[in-house]
Amino acid sequence: MPLMTKPTLSSVPANTRPSQDEAMEAVRTLIAWAGDNPDREGLRDTPKRVVKAYQEWFRGYDQDPADALSRVFEDVSGYDDMVILREIDVESHCEHHMAPFLGKAWVAYLPTDKVVGISKLVKVVEIFAKRLQTQETMTAQIADAIEDALKPRGCAVMIDAVHQCMSTRGVHHPNVSTITTQFTGEFKTNPSLQDRFLRVIGK
């Protein structure tokens, strides 16, 4: 099963990535296009601040989920039940409008002969969230990464998020959340496992 289901910055040659100055000039252009003066006092340093924010918001392009999941532990003392992480914060940006979507993720897997540190699962969610995304793609990517690294008997991923592109523009419905799920292996073939996962996470 492939680790990535869509292209990432790692597939873009480094010499084609715009410089920081070019990125800042692009922000100045957008400010002017919006109708304001990028040289007025309150906006003079905005391009620099926006570029710095982008470095934080989209740092996932410079990180590899396979690295985060590379250290595993084989001494599981026969444990073969679900490992579940609840309510992982999700802060991402939709690829259609570059607007934030914010919510929570729940991740579970059924180990075979190895487990991974629980913080590494959180890290995988963060890596995919810190990219331009659709929620559906991110949900699948997280499951794919866990499947590829751990070879579990199955995994389950759920994300519940509110999209600002729908809250602050377009239809203007701020209280609508989007729920996406991805089940693999035994979670996909055994409805009772799906039900148990959903009960445990309170959904």
| Catalytically active residues, by annotation | 94-97, 135, 163, 165
Contacts of 152 (CB under 8 A, 6+ apart): 109, 110, 111, 112, 146, 185
Other C-beta atoms within 10 Å of 110: how many? 20
Through-space distance between the first and last CA atoms of the chain, rounded to whole angstroms: 28
Q: Which two tokens stand for residue 200?
A: 């445990």
- DSSP helix/strand/coil, 56: helix
3-state secondary structure of 170: coil
The region, left, alpha or beta by phi > 0 then psi within -120 to 50, assigned to residue 33 is: alpha
Question: Token pair of 96, please?
Answer: 């259609």
Regarding beta strands 132-133 and 83-94, do their DSSP bridges make them parallel or antiparallel, or are they unpaired?
Answer: parallel
